[in-house]
Amino acid sequence: MTTKKDTLELREKELGSGQELTVGVPDNGMQNASGDLPKRDYNYGSSLNKVAVGQKVNKLYTAGGDVGVPLNIAPQRPSQYPCNQIDETPSGHSIEFDDTPGGERVMIRHRKGAGIEMRADGSVVISATNNKVEVTGGDQTVIVEGHGNLIYNGNLNLKVSGDFNVDVGGNYNVNVAGNQVENIKRNHKTTVEENSHYITKGTKNTKTVGTHTDIMLADNNQIVNGNQQNVVEGNVDFFSEEKIFISGKEQFAVSAKVANIAAAKQISVFGQKGVIGGKEVDFTGKSYYGSKGEEEAASNAIFWGTFKGVATEAIRSVNADKAAFAEVADLAHSQSYGEALTSGSTVGDTATLHSLSQEDISGQDAPITPDLVVDHTLNGSYAIQTVVVDADDVLKNSLNIEEKYNFVFRTTPTMQEIRSAFRNEDSRNTVSDLLVSEGRLNPDYKNIVPPAIGRTVSKKASSRYGYTPIGNALENRGKRFTP
Amino acid sequence: MMILVDPIYNPENQETITSATKLGPGITIAKFLGAYGDRTSFNHVEFDFTRRQIARNLYLHAEAMRVINGNTDIFNDVRLIVSEGLYRRNLLVDILDTNMEDKAFGRLVYYQVIGRDGKIDFEKTFEVAEYWKDYINFDTLYLDYDSYNPDGSLTAQIGLKFPEVSATFDVNFENNIETWYNNFLQSRDELVEIRETE
């Protein structure tokens, strides 16, 4: 910038224009005016780039892989001179076009290690030491012929404005250490062509505001180890085209204001003892037996109240009365003094008895006997069922491994989870034997003698070689320093 | 020692503390949740003051990680991963154990040094431990080896334990170092490299 105090004209007049134009320009063409070149590494040495002559290999920042996920990057061989055309700025940014046989590559590298590298085997490495932003204005297509690994050590948010379609040819495996939450604003439909298998180790709750319909086209089994409650505020309809059998080993009770049990062909209600009937209950049937069956006057049954009809006893009484009367009349007739006979009796007639057919006693037992009741409840297709679900909790324990591992692990542990849990000495002592028996832990886990010893360092700061000389002369670069 | 905290990542400046809360460039609390030894969500920490305390403790871990991952000269070929991060304690078995308590509050975190082949780089593990010993402050640094793998192969981890960090980030460090093998103390005040073979 020219000002009033500019002495350019004066200097040109006194020193000549040539002198002025060469101010700050070294006499030696191998040096530059700013002094940033040659770089310190190149002092007193060849000015050829060390990368170009193979003394140094520029690398992008890649760090290591992740556990079980290798980067599969082959080591880069040093360049052969003059195959590598490298352009490096004073701060360290570089562009390389390397034709070294077997190590051909193109690399654009930031001095911090970020950049892009196209390697000899066709691999492309892109590295960002900080954030990476990709913006695609139109469509984007990614085709990977091999495997892929995506590792996010932070959170991952995936937002799709349109449809999100996932088409998996093999298995689709999801492992979630925390919770899984799905919120669906409309419908949810899942179709499984073969079998479904769900295991809930804790409590399961399902709420349906609308109608819930389960249609099973084959059998349906509900097996409950604890209690089961079906509570219905409305009606319950329970239909079967064939048999319905309900067995309660201890008790079975039905209560209702109005209860109806009707059998089109046959009904049986019996028990060892109890009560049937009520204040205004009518009984209709073919015969009634006391507990001793057909045993006259001692069938072990009592009727209270009015009995309408004719009992055997009453029939006999009538017949006895008739017979006695006839005997008296016969006697009077033979003695030739008359007496008016009342109706129903004829002098000289033999007494006519009423039929005792209703009293056709065979002496058989009552159809319902204690033995019959016992037999019915213990044997046959209507016997009281014995229910045992998961005896000795074998199934439960196989699913709920928390107890198996004494609550140290909630799930089958991985090696690293075992390692973590073993920070707790109690846990270590509790489950180590089980883990060894399962083959998840080295039986020699208690060995306190290391297999071999390498380097050792004390608590004091270690001496180390400097990588970035700070004020050191080149010849002192290898000097140790203590941080 | 008063730690000068980057105000962008200072948990005290955050309105809420979640798994997405940043503790450093590219380091969120989530990094300490998904450790493959202690996988958990952040939901089990209910109270904000507890979350904030954990975030302050983990801030020091984030700084320690940055020291290694940002050092592309020495550690360009390895990755420092969290192998045992924030731990959700099992109250039936862990309630009295101080190690588990330290892990539950983010004071103690274990790391592994993974090479490009996806396996533990034992040499670099020792060098990372040595580097941390020299360049950062901590309460205790554990160089931890074990042969727990069923095949008996060696595993190496580095445990870093920091003291409880107050809201003012006024912290005192003890800078102890220990070497362990199969949970047995091999050496105190010394880092010993353990190898599988001579």
Say if residues B117 and A69 touch (Cβ distance below 8 Å): no
* pLDDT recorded at residue B191: 95
Q: DSSP readout, A218-273?
A: S------SS------SS------SS------SS------SS-----SS------SS
Say if residues A423 and B99 touch (Cβ distance below 8 Å): yes
* pLDDT recorded at residue A343: 46
Question: Who has greater pLDDT, B125 or A316?
Answer: B125
Interface of B with A in 92-131 (CB under 8 A): 92-94, 96-97, 99-100, 103, 110, 112-119, 121, 126, 130
Cβ neighbours of B126 (radius 10 Å) = 24
Q: pLDDT grade, residue A401 (50/70/90)?
A: confident
Distances (CA, A) of A429 to A166, B40, B102, B154: 46, 24, 20, 21
Q: Is A135 on the interface with B (CB under 8 A)?
A: no
What mean pLDDT, rounded, does chain A reach? 83
Per-residue pLDDT for A469 more than 70? Answer: no
Is the Cα dihedral A477, A483, B4, B6 positive or negative? positive
Share of residues in chain A with pLDDT > 90 (%): 38
Chain A positions in Cβ-Cβ contact with residue B189 (cut-off 8 Å): 458-459
Per-residue pLDDT for A54 more than 50? Answer: yes
* pLDDT recorded at residue B92: 79
* pLDDT recorded at residue A338: 47
* pLDDT recorded at residue A104: 94
Q: Closest Cα partner for B182 from B144, B141, B142, B151?
A: B144
Distance CA B85, CA B42 (A): 12
Whether residue A26 is preceded by a cis peptide bond, meaning omega within 30 degrees of 0, is no
Who contacts A347 (Cβ-Cβ below 8 Å, separation ≥6)? A329, A330, A332, A333, A341
Residues A143-160 have pLDDT tens digits of: 998 889 998 988 899 999
- Three-state DSSP at A480 gives strand
Tokens encoding A420: 């973590």
Is the Cα dihedral B167, B172, B178, B184 positive or negative? negative
Amino acid code (one letter) for B67 = V
Q: Which residues pair with A97 in a beta bridge?
A: A85, A106
Distance CA A481, CA A462 (A): 9
Residue B104 lies in a domain: yes
Residue B99 lies in a domain: yes
Q: Which domain holds residue B140?
A: 11-188
Per-residue pLDDT for A238 more than 80? Answer: yes
Q: Is A403 on the interface with B (CB under 8 A)?
A: no
ipTM: 0.92
Q: pLDDT grade, residue A305 (50/70/90)?
A: confident
* pLDDT recorded at residue A345: 46
Question: Exposed/middle/buried for A218, CB within 10 Å: 0-12, 13-18, 19+?
Answer: exposed
Residue B173 lies in a domain: yes
* pLDDT recorded at residue A179: 87
Question: Who has greater pLDDT, B176 or A393?
Answer: B176
Interface of A with B in 318-377 (CB under 8 A): none
Residue B92 lies in a domain: yes
Q: Is A137 on the interface with B (CB under 8 A)?
A: no
Question: Exposed/middle/buried for A66, CB within 10 Å: 0-12, 13-18, 19+?
Answer: middle
Is the Cα dihedral B185, B187, B189, B192 positive or negative? negative
Tokens encoding B164: 């409880």
* pLDDT recorded at residue A198: 92
Total structural domains within chain B: 1
* pLDDT recorded at residue A449: 94
Chain B positions in Cβ-Cβ contact with residue A467 (cut-off 8 Å): 73-74
Residue B79 lies in a domain: yes
* pLDDT recorded at residue A340: 47
* pLDDT recorded at residue A479: 53
Residue B123 lies in a domain: yes
Share of residues in chain A with pLDDT > 70 (%): 82
Residue B143 lies in a domain: yes
Strand-strand pairing, A452-458 and A464-465? unpaired
Amino acid code (one letter) for A105 = R
Question: Who has greater pLDDT, A9 or A237?
Answer: A237
Per-residue pLDDT for A357 more than 90? Answer: no
Who contacts B184 (Cβ-Cβ below 8 Å, separation ≥6)? A448
Q: DSSP readout, A445-456?
A: TT--S-SEEEEE
Q: pLDDT grade, residue B73 (50/70/90)?
A: confident
Angle at A77 between CA A76 and CA A83, to 5 degrees: 115
* Chain B, nearest residue to A403 by Cα: B92
Mean pLDDT of the A115-124 span: 94
Residue B197 lies in a domain: no
Residues A183-219 have pLDDT tens digits of: 999 999 999 999 999 999 889 999 999 999 999 999 9
φ, ψ dihedrals at B13, nearest 5°? -90, -5
Q: Which residues pair with B190 in a beta bridge?
A: A458
Residues A66-99 have pLDDT tens digits of: 888 998 888 888 999 999 999 998 888 999 999 9
* pLDDT recorded at residue A377: 85
Residues A3-53 have pLDDT tens digits of: 556 677 777 777 776 666 666 566 666 666 666 777 778 888 888 899 999
Per-residue pLDDT for A295 more than 80? Answer: no
Mean pLDDT of the A93-107 span: 95
Chain B positions in Cβ-Cβ contact with residue A445 (cut-off 8 Å): 146-148, 182
Q: pLDDT grade, residue A333 (50/70/90)?
A: low
DSSP letter at B32 equals: G
Q: Is A184 on the interface with B (CB under 8 A)?
A: no
Question: Who has greater pLDDT, B87 or A8?
Answer: B87
What mean pLDDT, rounded, does chain B reach? 91
Residues A407-442 have pLDDT tens digits of: 888 888 999 999 999 999 999 999 999 999 999 999
Who contacts B36 (Cβ-Cβ below 8 Å, separation ≥6)? A67, A414, A416, B83
Say if residues B128 and A394 touch (Cβ distance below 8 Å): no
